[in-house]
Amino acid sequence: MSGSLSVISHRTAVLSRLDSCINSAMREMEKEAVDWVQDQMLFGYHDPHGKDGHTEIYQSGYMSEKSIKAKAQRDSQNTYTLSVGTDAPYGPYVHYGTIKLKGRPFLDDGLAKNVDKQKQIYLKHLKSMNNI
């Protein structure tokens, strides 16, 4: 006497769902990253900056909230990247500093201060895999 067991693999469906969850997480982080950097620009620094003594990085002009852009992309099968930057011509001078002006790495700081939020977003989307 013998018995047999048949197993149906859902590997393809599971991997497809995992990709979908990761893509959703990256899209959400892409939107949130702009807010994180903008908050850093407005409220992240307390020492005076420039001759007029203001503490925020931007007030108007090129360094406005519209100058911050974020892009999430899949680089390879296992690698995703979230890039955040500014198209303001003098953004690098503000970020890295000059001989006369101390740098304020608002892009790096805005992301670094929100690592826990990034993890929460990622986990939230991965937990949705339970709905397979």
DSSP sequence for 62-99: GGSGGGEEEEEEE-SSS-EEEEEEE--TTHHHHHHB-S
40 within 8 A of 109, measured Cβ to Cβ: yes
Is residue 106 situated within a structural domain?
yes
The region of weakest confidence among 9-13, 39-43, 48-52, 101-105 is 48-52
Is residue 107 situated within a structural domain?
yes
Total number of domains in the chain: 1
Q: What is the pLDDT of residue 89?
A: 86
Query: Which one, of 32, 45, 37, lies nearest residue 88 by Cα?
Result: 37
Is residue 36 situated within a structural domain?
yes
Is residue 5 situated within a structural domain?
no
Phi and psi, residue 117, nearest 5°: -65, -40
| Structural domain that includes position 106 | 11-131
Is residue 64 situated within a structural domain?
yes
pLDDT of 37 over the 80 cut: yes
pLDDT of 56 over the 80 cut: no
Is residue 2 situated within a structural domain?
no
Is residue 6 situated within a structural domain?
no
pTM higher than 0.85, yes or no? no
Is residue 1 situated within a structural domain?
no
